[in-house]
Amino acid sequence: MTTTDPSDALGDALAEPVARVGRGWTASLSLANVAIWVGWYGPLQILLARQAEDFAPGTGMSKETLLAWVTGVGAAVSLVANPFFGALSDRTTARRGRRTPWIVAGSAGGALSLLLLAGADGLWLMTLGWCLVQLTLNASFAAVTAAVPDRVPRLQRGVVGGWLGAAQILGAVVGTALATAAGGIAAGYAACAVFTLAGVAPYVLRHRDLRLAPADRPPWSSRAFVRGFWLSPRRYPDFGWAWLTRFLINLSNALVILYLLYYLRDRLHYDDPEQGVLILTAVDSVALLATVVVGGVWSDRTGRRKPFVKWSGVLMALATALLSFWQTWPSAIVAAALLGVGLGVFMSVDFALMTDVLPRALDRGKDLGVINIANALPQVAAPALAAPIVTHLGGYRVLYGVAAAVGLAGAVLVGRIRSVD
């Protein structure tokens, strides 16, 4: 199979790709992913938690409840935005292609929304800013994600998915580092905004997107557009099981991340919890980077997906259980390393598995948006589960025990998928 740079030809936007993509295309797409995740993780890891501490005394809520409320509302926006913008990009017939316009508009909107957060002076502006960040960056993310099944042949998706997985964790590291090193909340948001906008530029400027011919765009029907977001698990059972697997494992991970800053401060009494978050993120990242591309390459070579997803999920569940039963700083480092190893394999291979069960080429963006609900919905569900557990139902020991059980369930259910080995 030949290797090509997708900028060499426009091709057919609805054809199944057969030519392998080049390293330059993969690197540019991965950098665009890093930029988007910086816009999310800088706030999620550090900045929103610090603002919650500042604003909580005037609201009558604890910092945990306020943070859960803001992130939950933002995740609800993400829940709708990702498939919506994915569906719009599927129908776009612009000269620059059907994905690129949304990458540009979403990233620019995300940068402006982060600057709005930088100037937030209370709960309501903080909530509005975070909702706009979720809305705009999901437009960009939906288009970037859909570029993979548009351009990458099936037996290269594991390795490309590995690089995109590495991009996510690099986004977490860079976002956390920018938020920590900037010297203040406003400066942290500004740094993330600049990186978010600049990081998508190489992909947008260097690589031409596939154009959808106007004749290939289906006639507009508002009823059909809305109904298209429902994919029947009975009609597409493998799609349904793949979605549920991703949802459960992402929910487990969201439960771990949400209160990590507070866990280090209030349960472990770590001297510098913000630095602790950065250290754990770095440990997780090193371990993830050691496995994320290797897992994807190995999966492509064997032609199998399910065993990699299953056993990486089991390892992540065991690592989460450590946070429940062995609550010390050394155990947190061990858990971060194990989570990184498992998450690296999971992120690359599960993404390839998801693209393998997509129903139709015409709806790649929308269907991946529906799949990405399994990333966003846990951000809604996690605060609703975590806040009462931490404050009333047993604290962090119970929280991480529940998270481990949820992740283990996701790992087991991947066995129900039939069309993929």
Taking only the tens of pLDDT, the chain with its 421 residues reads: 445 444 434 447 777 788 888 989 999 999 999 999 999 989 988 899 899 988 988 888 888 888 888 988 988 898 889 889 988 988 888 888 889 999 999 999 999 999 999 999 889 999 999 999 999 999 999 999 989 888 888 888 888 888 888 888 789 889 988 998 888 899 999 999 999 999 999 999 999 888 888 878 877 677 777 777 766 677 778 888 888 888 999 898 888 887 788 888 878 877 788 888 888 888 888 888 888 888 888 888 888 888 888 888 899 899 989 888 888 888 889 989 998 899 888 887 887 888 888 777 777 788 888 887 887 778 778 878 888 887 877 778 888 888 999 999 988 888 888 777 6
For the chain, the first-to-last Cα distance in angstroms comes to 22
The β-bridge relationship of strands 20-21 and 3-4 is parallel
pLDDT of residue 4: 45
pLDDT of residue 8: 39
One-letter identity of residue 277: V
Q: How far apart are CA 407 and CA 363, in angstroms?
A: 29
Helices within 182-259 (DSSP H only): 185-199, 201-206, 222-227, 237-258
Which CATH number is 19-213+228-416 given?
Answer: 1.20.1250.20
Characterize 314-345 residue by residue with b for buried, 16 or more Cβ atoms within 10 angstroms of its Cβ, and e for exposed: bbbbbbbbbbbeebeeebbeebbbbbbbbbbb
Q: How far apart are CA 300 and CA 315, in angstroms?
A: 21
Closest CA to 175 of 40, 36, 276, 42: 42
Q: How far apart are CA 265 and CA 390, in angstroms?
A: 14
Q: Map tokens 């960009």 to a residue.
A: 140
- Contact assessment for residue 371 and residue 242, using Cβ atoms and an 8 Å cutoff: yes
pLDDT of residue 5: 45
In the three-class reduction of DSSP (H, G, I as helix; E, B as strand; rest coil), residue 21 is classed as strand
Give the count of beta carbons closer than 10 Å to the beta carbon of residue 288: 30
pLDDT of residue 421: 67
Give the count of beta carbons closer than 10 Å to the beta carbon of residue 176: 26
Residues facing residue 21 across a β-bridge: 4
Q: Which helix (H) or strand (E) holds 59?
A: none
- Contact assessment for residue 306 and residue 353, using Cβ atoms and an 8 Å cutoff: yes
- Contact assessment for residue 300 and residue 155, using Cβ atoms and an 8 Å cutoff: yes
Q: How far apart are CA 49 and CA 34, in angstroms?
A: 21
- Contact assessment for residue 1 and residue 18, using Cβ atoms and an 8 Å cutoff: yes
Closest CA to 259 of 61, 388, 67: 67
Q: How far apart are CA 50 and CA 261, in angstroms?
A: 10
- Contact assessment for residue 354 and residue 239, using Cβ atoms and an 8 Å cutoff: no
Give the count of beta carbons closer than 10 Å to the beta carbon of residue 170: 21
pLDDT of residue 358: 77
Beta strands in 240-300 (DSSP E): none
Q: How far apart are CA 403 and CA 407, in angstroms?
A: 6
- Contact assessment for residue 173 and residue 282, using Cβ atoms and an 8 Å cutoff: yes
Q: How far apart are CA 415 and CA 402, in angstroms?
A: 22
Q: Residue 108 has which token pair? A: 């620019």
- Contact assessment for residue 312 and residue 345, using Cβ atoms and an 8 Å cutoff: yes
What are phi and psi for residue 58, nearest 5 degrees? Answer: -90, 0
In the chain, domain spans? 19-213+228-416
Give the count of beta carbons closer than 10 Å to the beta carbon of residue 301: 11
Q: How far is CA 411 from the centre of its chain?
A: 18
Q: Which helix (H) or strand (E) holds 62?
A: none
